Structure 1
Amino acid sequence: VFTLYMKTGGKNGKHTAVTDSSSIGAISSLGVQVFEHREGTSEFTSHPRATKLLGTCQFAFVFPFEFLLRIPWKSVAVQGCSSVLLDNLTFQRFLALKRESANLVLAVTLFKARGPKGGKGPDTEGDED
């Protein structure tokens, strides 16, 4: 994570960079560097296919609900200037998330489609109490 953004108060509040937050829910977006998994290894490269031909890194803004796992620095071994290796425990967590990727995509889709606060979401539409 390179940057954190929070929305300042009010309906028309601006997004501003912050250095920390006590809650992931208070963050409006996170600026992150994208690493791509190299199949068959616990290695991740900082030059994903999308930018490999240019020899550049890829960055993205993600929403807090897309942020699944914080990886402690002690779990990462830097390999040269463009890749990292995860320790076994963290890599097993990654593999577990990868196996559930279809369910995670569905969860994000349902989260984005939820109704207004106090209203009915997509799963409750038309249901009677």
Structure 2
Amino acid sequence: MTKVGVWWDVVRISGQLGLAALQLLRQRLECPIGPVAVDPGGSDAPRLYFFVPPGTADHWDAFGTTALGPDFFVVVPDAACVQPPGPHWAVPPDAGRVLTCPRALREAVTAAMQLP
């Protein structure tokens, strides 16, 4: 477990909405994607955790998502764990990679909600 809100906040998006938002972000070459962890378990599986700049949770309001800031903890997979079973990275952390842009993530979530 790692405390959220120090180095980054997290936006949790469950199920098909999270998968669709990730796919849309991957199609936007101008916006790099930061680390994205996947928790494949639970009733609303999978749950994707998008790592965003600290403070994002204070202003986050995208429908169908949950922003986690200070006072929350998340399970962070080992950096080499990129496949199931268990928690793993859909987009692994990279020392040179930035965090996901909140504006781009919000746009991707909004667009994903419009998909059939």
Shorter chain as denominator, the TM-score bin is under 0.3
TM-score (norm 1): 0.24
TM-score (norm 2): 0.26
The higher-RCO structure (CA 8 Å, 6+ apart) is 2
